[in-house]
């Protein structure tokens, strides 16, 4: 069944006109899916010679360029009506995209290209076939595109967040056994919640290196800190859930740190609103934590929810893209004391409003049986 976009696909036309671009080549999963509904978009990786791409224009519907093996499903499921193909593994998707641009009489035009996503090999395939074209980086333009969510998108994002939170909470209420057993029960609950995919980790004890996050087969130990982080996609849009807890009993210091964290994040949310840059929002959260004697770690404090794991603006010191009305922002700063929670809110000119599906702020203590 052909899907319908939840956003305004035509918005890119005006953006390209404003930027004086004759076309833009899109290959990143987020923008490829939002532009065309390409079913394989979220599984793409840079340099893979079966990856699809799309070409957007200021005055026409986009063209999807896909491998022949994916043409049928793209026509059945996606919303792009202009589809052209290349031979999987043999031909280059960007070489075929260059042919499409040339056929449209744009061989000497100004063409936007995702410099941060398209690998050098594919870039050369495109440039070699369009020697007269002026290639212009359009990553910033595309990062801001579709940033404000439509009511339909907000509904899907909110429903996904609610489903994820409900699944994790229900699994935690009956949690028992080892790290791995609890982790698997959470993943099972996420799968049964009606979402498409689920991932994450459940970890007890001192935080291990990210690349070594593997649930163990030992029973939970008394007093161990729990690091709980899960995500999922629902109707291609992402949800995120982060929470800290303890096994059997939290130490007095842990309880105090937990309470200080909740106060700090609550205070910072009250100061977030449309118009702030990601860097300004980061500074607000960092200052709120420091006012409670907590140190933010690492150098990010959250991100915008949308298609894929995260969208810009990121809440980090160098982010200049600004928060906009209609964005769903997940604030999840880590701290040097190990406490970390996620709080998801809808941004408006008046401030931020919490949406359903946030972790309870109450202290989480598992029996560890």
Look up residue 110 and give its two tokens: 């100004």
Q: Which domains does the chain have, with CATH numbers?
A: 11-144 (3.40.350.10), 151-366 (3.90.230.10)
Q: Is 33 helix (H, G, I), strand (E, B) or coil?
A: helix
CA R_g for the chain: 22
Residues lower than pLDDT 70 in the chain: 1-2, 206-215, 369
Nearest to 308 by CA among 257, 220, 232: 232
Q: Is 238 helix (H, G, I), strand (E, B) or coil?
A: strand
Write the CA distances from 225 to 117, 238, 297, integer angstroms: 38, 27, 17
Q: How confident is the model at residue 213, as a pLDDT?
A: 52
User: Of all residues in the chain, what percent are helix, strand and coil, respectively (each to 5)?
Assistant: 35, 25, 45
Provide the terminal-to-terminal Cα distance of the chain, rounded to the nearest Å: 46
- Residue 366 CA from chain centroid, whole number: 29
Residues 6 or more apart in contact with residue 81 via CB below 8 angstroms? 61
> What does the pLDDT look like over 345-356, one tens digit per residue?
999 988 999 999
DSSP 219: B
Q: How confident is the model at residue 1, as a pLDDT?
A: 59
Look up residue 26 and give its two tokens: 């899109």
Q: How confident is the model at residue 3, as a pLDDT?
A: 75
DSSP 107: T
Q: How confident is the model at residue 2, as a pLDDT?
A: 66
Instruction: Give the predicted TM-score (pTM) of the model.
Output: 0.90
Q: How confident is the model at residue 93, as a pLDDT?
A: 94
Q: What does DSSP say about strands 23-26 and 110-113: parallel, antiparallel, or unpaired? A: parallel
Q: How confident is the model at residue 214, as a pLDDT?
A: 59
What is the C-alpha separation between 275 and 321, in angstroms, rounded?
A: 9
Q: Specify the DSSP element, H or E, that contains 240.
A: strand 237-247
What is the C-alpha separation between 257 and 286, in angstroms, rounded?
A: 15
Q: How confident is the model at residue 196, as a pLDDT?
A: 84
Q: How confident is the model at residue 309, as a pLDDT?
A: 79
Q: How confident is the model at residue 45, as a pLDDT?
A: 78
What is the C-alpha separation between 90 and 49, in angstroms, rounded?
A: 8
Q: Specify the DSSP element, H or E, that contains 103.
A: helix 93-103
């Amino acid at each position: 069944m052909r899907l319908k976009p939840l956003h305004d696909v035509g918005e890119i036309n005006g953006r390209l006109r404003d930027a004086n671009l004759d076309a833009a080549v899109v290959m990143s999963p987020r923008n490829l899916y939002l532009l065309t509904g390409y079913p394989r978009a979220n599984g793409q990786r840079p340099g893979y010679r079966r990856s699809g791409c799309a070409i957007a224009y200021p005055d026409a519907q986009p063209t999807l360029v896909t491998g022949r093996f994916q043409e049928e499903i793209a026509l059945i499921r996606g919303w792009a009506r202009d589809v052209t193909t290349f031979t999987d593994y043999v031909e280059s998707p960007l070489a075929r995209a260059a042919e499409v641009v040339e056929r449209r009489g744009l061989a000497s035009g100004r063409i936007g290209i995702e410099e941060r996503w398209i690998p050098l090999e594919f870039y050369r395939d495109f440039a070699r076939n369009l020697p007269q074209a002026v290639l212009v980086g359009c990553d910033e333009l595309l990062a801001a595109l579709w940033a404000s969510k439509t009511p339909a998108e907000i509904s899907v994002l909110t429903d996904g967040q609610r489903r994820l939170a409900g699944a994790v909470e229900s699994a935690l209420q009956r949690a028992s056994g080892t790290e791995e057993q609890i982790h698997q029960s959470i993943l099972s609950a996420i799968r049964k919640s009606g979402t498409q995919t689920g991932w994450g980790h459940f970890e007890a004890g001192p935080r291990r290196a990210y690349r070594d996050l593997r649930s163990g087969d030992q029973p939970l130990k008394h007093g161990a800190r729990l690091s709980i982080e899960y995500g999922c996609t629902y109707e291609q849009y992402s949800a995120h859930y982060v929470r800290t807890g303890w096994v059997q009993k939290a130490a007095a210091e842990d309880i105090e740190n937990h309470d200080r964290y909740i106060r700090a994040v609550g205070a910072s949310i009250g100061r977030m609103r449309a118009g702030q840059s990601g860097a300004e929002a980061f500074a607000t959260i960092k200052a709120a934590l420091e006012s409670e004697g907590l140190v933010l770690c690492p150098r990010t404090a959250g991100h915008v929810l949308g298609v894929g794991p995260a969208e810009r603006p990121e809440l980090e010191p160098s982010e200049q893209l600004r928060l906009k009305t209609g964005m769903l922002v997940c604030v999840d700063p880590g701290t040097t004391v190990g406490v970390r929670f996620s709080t998801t809110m809808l941004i408006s000119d008046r401030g931020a409003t919490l949406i359903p599906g946030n972790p309870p702020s109450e202290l989480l203590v598992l029996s560890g049986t």
